[in-house]
Amino acid sequence: STRVRSSAASDVYKRQIEEALWAKMLFNTTLNPLGAILGTTYGAMSEMNNAVQIMNSLIGETYDVMGAAGYKTYWPDADTYKKVFYSKLVPDTYAHRSSTLQDMEKGIPTEIDTLNGCVIRIADNYSVEVPVHRTIYNIIKSMEQRNK
């Protein structure tokens, strides 16, 4: 009985951790590399129509990967997340310069492999197409090579 309760509690904690991690992945894979490529803040990107299109594609692809792999986060779908993303999350970090941009400026390796690279690896395991993630990933990897 205690073991069953412990296992059930463990499953709840595991789900809560997964939800939190995917929330962080959604935010970071959308903003960090694009901020480095454009050399600007999160808020400035939210005011650029073309950047918003890219961010929307990244969010949609991440939700496709999450769905295929059976993961969930706090928001049930991409549209719900985008509403919170643009109305709350980005404004709260408006002046933030991404860690990827800061790493580029320092000439040190970025976290692209653990961010968008992770989404790509999971997508590959489930045969999900993620062309925007791949493009962003390849641009950052090219920028890293250039900076060596």
Active site residues: 24
Tokens of 140: 């950052």
The candidate with the shortest Cα–Cα distance to 23, out of 75, 67, 61, 58, is 75
Half-sphere exposure of 49 (CA within 13 A, CB side): 0
Which helix or strand (DSSP H or E) is residue 99 part of?
A: helix 99-106
Tokens of 104: 């580029």
CB distance 68 to 128 below 8 Å: yes
